[in-house]
Amino acid sequence: MGRYVIRRLAMAAMILWFISMIVFVLLRIGPGDPALLQQGINATPERIAQVNKEMGLDDPYVVQYLNWIKGMLTLDLGRSALTQTDTTDEFMERFPISLQLMVMTLVWTVVIGIPFGIVSAAKRNSAGDYTVRLFAILALSVPGFWVATLVLIIPVQQWGYAPPLDRQASLFSEPWANLRQFGPPSLVLALGPIASVMRLTRSSLLEVLRADYVRTARAKGLNERVIVLRHALKNSLIPVITVLGLLMGGLLGGSVIVESIFNLRGLGQFVYRAILQKDFNVAQTLVMYTAGVAVLLNLAVDLVYSLFDPRIRYA
């Protein structure tokens, strides 16, 4: 196990290094001039040259890349070239918002997706099964921004209710206001994952229920609930764990559309604005953060497999 983890970490470091080079190059070959965006179209060439020098953009690419990597390794993320705010401070301010949104979305997905997927498989071809499958198809079909807009508009028009949008309510000092603020967007974000987990749980569990050891358990007269929950479910959850790991990696980077609709100052808005405005330092750092989270979550998911299937061994 230890050697396997060391090999995976070494591979993760190589992957992140490769991603860092791609991100660095793509941001610079794309259209747009950061100095011009900062100073406006009326800026003189002399002023543009001065700003480029202040931001270090007139240095050779190799020097810029090494300075950025050094800052990443020493946790000195520098300042935003456009807003002049400290990148670390703004990241730490926005990170809890994206983290809570991710955790609540994951909770919705697990609490709703897995149980209904189990019911759908255990009651195959019943009315409940068809209802779950219909909901899954609808949830995968409708766009998230449309659902988010309806979640805001309908309660306002029908009941005069709207979640707090003018500020970020703290979970510890204002728990009820916080849940009102984060509940709707997390549920909107969870619709697609819930549908995917429902379908995957159903199909995986149906496959396991056809296995020989399940037929043997039924022949011994075991209760169907015991067979499903104690014997079959654990072996059918490995593909579901994979999907949940990928979901966590994506959500921890933020959701641009939902954060914008519900006015949440998370990492999604942060990285979108940085890329749009060619704020190299912020954009590079946030993209690498998202890539690092995804790589480490993939390793964690691989290690969790052995908890659900004792036959899996890592050498």
- pLDDT computed for residue 264 by the predictor: 83
pLDDT < 70: residue spans in the chain: 1, 32, 37-38, 40, 81-83, 166, 249-250, 252-254, 306-315
| Burial degree of 70 (CB within 10 A; 0-12, 13-18, 19+) | exposed
Domain for residue 85, yes or no? no
pLDDT digits (tens, 9 = 90+) for 261-277: 888 888 887 887 787 77
Q: How far is CA 6 from CA 11, 12, 217, 303, 310, in A?
A: 9, 10, 40, 13, 21
Domain for residue 293, yes or no? yes
CATH number at residue 300: 1.10.3720.10
If asked whether residues 53 and 144 sit together in one domain, one would say no
309 touches 45 (CB < 8 A) = no
Domain for residue 139, yes or no? yes
Whole-prediction pTM: 0.81
Range of the domain at 24: 2-73
Domain for residue 314, yes or no? no
- pLDDT computed for residue 107 by the predictor: 92
If asked whether residues 49 and 134 sit together in one domain, one would say no
Half-sphere exposure of 170 (CA within 13 A, CB side): 3
Q: What is the mean pLDDT of the chain?
A: 81
Q: 81 φ, ψ to 5°?
A: -70, -25
Contacts for 71 with CB less than 8 Å, ≥ 6 apart: 77, 78
If asked whether residues 114 and 244 sit together in one domain, one would say yes
If asked whether residues 226 and 125 sit together in one domain, one would say yes
Domain for residue 154, yes or no? yes
Q: What is the DSSP string of 160-226?
A: ------SS---TTT-HHHHHHHHHHHHHHHHHHHHHHHHHHHHHHHHHHHTSHHHHHHHHTT--HHH
Of the candidates 14, 3, 168, the one whose C-alpha atom is nearest the C-alpha of residue 94 is: 168
Give the integer Cα–Cα distance in Å for 2 and 314: 9
If asked whether residues 113 and 217 sit together in one domain, one would say yes
303 touches 42 (CB < 8 A) = no
Give the integer Cα–Cα distance in Å for 98 and 192: 18
* Total tally of structural domains belonging to the chain: 2
- pLDDT computed for residue 116 by the predictor: 92
- pLDDT computed for residue 301 by the predictor: 78
If asked whether residues 56 and 116 sit together in one domain, one would say no
